[in-house]
Amino acid sequence: MAFLGPSAYISPDHYASQPHFPTWAYAAVHVTGRPRLLDEVRTMRQLDDLIEDQESRLAPKQPWSLPRRASALFDEYLRLIQGSRSRSGTSTACTSLARTSPRPTWPPRHGPSGSAARTA
């Protein structure tokens, strides 16, 4: 599985010194493990939790929640969603947040602490 974090184009004009070249700042984590599919009840619970968490970040907006009654549109969307859980086997993080080295590496190099994170 790949989890992508924030990303953005970085213009050479953002740097105080010149010369620079355009780049892309990003963060990502690759995780290996064995996924286990969830039944409809657990998938709905997972969706509720996710929506509640994300909607709470939009205050003072009134939080949106899943409809509690069936509708054709709701049923159509629900058929497209499959919840899953996974116990993580290994994970590898890669970031490119500042252009202080020639180029980011993938897979990331392991630092002295054994961490897989790398900032390029």
Q: Is 29 helix (H, G, I), strand (E, B) or coil?
A: strand
What percent of the chain is modeled with pLDDT above 70?
A: 80
pLDDT tens for each residue of 51-109: 999 999 998 999 988 877 778 888 888 889 989 988 777 888 888 876 554 454 444 44
Count CA atoms within 13 Å of residue 103 on its CB side.
Answer: 3
Question: What is this structure's pTM?
Answer: 0.54
If you average pLDDT over every residue of the chain, what do you get?
78
- What local confidence, expressed as pLDDT, does residue 110 receive? 41
Q: Measured on CA atoms in the order 95, 101, 106, 111, is the torsion positive or negative?
A: negative
